[in-house]
Amino acid sequence: MTRRTAALKVEALDRVFDVSAPLLNRLVYRQDRRFLHAVNDVTFEVPQGGCLSLVGESGCGKSTVAKLVTGLYPPSAGQIRFAPGRSGAPLSAQMIFQDPYASLNPRWRVRNIIAEPLRELKLRETEAEITDRVADLLAIVGLNIADGEKFPHEFSGGQRQRISIARALASEPEFLVCDEPTSALDVSVQAQILNLMRRLQDELGLTYLFISHDLSVVRHMSDRIAVMYLGRIVEQADTEVLFADPKHPYTRLLLDTIPDVNAPHRNREIVAGEVPSPLSPPSGCAFHPRCPLAQDRCKSDRPPLRIAPDGASVACHFA
């Protein structure tokens, strides 16, 4: 199998936030500064034309990774490289946000929302060309030119997400970072948006970094999946390998949450406890307070990511 060129390489990425109380409060109450290590030593690669999904519970750091990749946050350490080794024009990237209504200007008509990147980046010379391109983009995402005269509040959630996708495509990107693009939508609408995104990937040759907490969603989108827990990647594998043979106990926990109509009463592995606070993560393996395989070693030694014979990588002493 030919190895595809990397569209994105992320190496040893860290992001630390200072969440300390104001200086005066710290002096009066004799408090120390507090730091939140949201992303810790994250490394992955997204091949050109492929889709890598980051999956995990809320607060695991996956959305922070998305904001780091798009430049909304600067990294504390590590490297983010788009199309390393590529000559000529740099690879262009855009982001699709989780809440389509909050990411659209409520005072602008849809045609102006979609046209803004065209005007700002000077991708079309005349207003007539901009109008034609807006009509094309609306058609690409399954809307019509009359919808351009409406405001965002006049659309359903699924239609607003289509508008967000059209706006992202307006700048003619090669790489899209999709931060929970379907989590605010009904299940039937989720399927429509996911099918649209798959079709656009095939037609336009797009590359996706897809962020989600739902493994059943990303299975139909991804070539490869990286599972995150408390800021670290604990398992990474090709999609079918991960679903057929999950190695990390946390990955198995996530898979057990997916309903199965063929086996509604199947035995499920119950994992106790809540996600620890990222302000005071456990020592050693962060998952050990909830892990059914945990032993004394897990409390003191953080497991490194090890590569398995099937190409998966897993951070677990007993996987």
The pLDDT of 248-273, averaged and rounded, is 74
The pLDDT of 195-210, averaged and rounded, is 95
Pairing of strands 77-82, 6-18: antiparallel
Side chain identity at residue 20, one-letter code: S
The pLDDT of 61-81, averaged and rounded, is 95
Predicted pLDDT of residue 1:
42
The CA distance from 70 to 23, in Å, is 31
The pLDDT of 2-26, averaged and rounded, is 91
| pLDDT over 70 at 260, yes or no | no
Query: Which backbone phi and psi does 92 adopt, to 5 degrees?
Result: -95, 145
Pairing of strands 313-314, 306-307: antiparallel
Least confident range from 4-18, 31-45, 87-101, 124-138: namely 87-101
Tens of pLDDT, residue by residue over 105-137, are 999 999 999 999 999 999 999 999 999 999 999
Predicted pLDDT of residue 84:
78
Of 223, 207, 180, 12, nearest in space to 91 by CA: 207
| pLDDT over 70 at 47, yes or no | yes
Predicted pLDDT of residue 165:
96
Predicted pLDDT of residue 89:
64
Predicted pLDDT of residue 54:
97
Residues 6+ apart with CB under 8 A from 166: 114, 137, 138, 140, 141, 143
| pLDDT over 60 at 261, yes or no | no
Question: How long is the chain?
Answer: 319
SS3 content of the chain, % helix, strand, coil (to 5): 35, 20, 45
Question: Please, which residues bridge with residue 16 across strands?
Answer: 37
The CA distance from 132 to 231, in Å, is 44
- Residue 84, Cβ density class (10 Å: 0-12 exposed, 13-18 middle, ≥19 buried): middle
User: Residue 315 in contact with residue 233, Cβ under 8 Å?
Assistant: yes
Predicted pLDDT of residue 186:
86
Question: Please, which residues bridge with residue 175 across strands?
Answer: 93, 207
Residue 235: pLDDT band (50, 70, 90) is: very high
pLDDT above 70 covers a percentage of the chain that reads 93
Predicted pLDDT of residue 80:
95
Domains (range + CATH), the chain: 6-92+174-314 (3.40.50.300), 93-173 (no CATH)
What integer best gives the mean pLDDT of the chain? 91
R_g over Cα of the chain: 21
User: Residue 47 in contact with residue 24, Cβ under 8 Å?
Assistant: no
Quickly list H helices, the chain: 23-29, 62-69, 110-120, 127-140, 157-170, 187-204, 215-218, 239-244, 249-256, 296-300
Tens of pLDDT, residue by residue over 269-289, are 666 677 888 899 999 999 999
Predicted pLDDT of residue 256:
85
pTM of the full predicted structure?
0.91
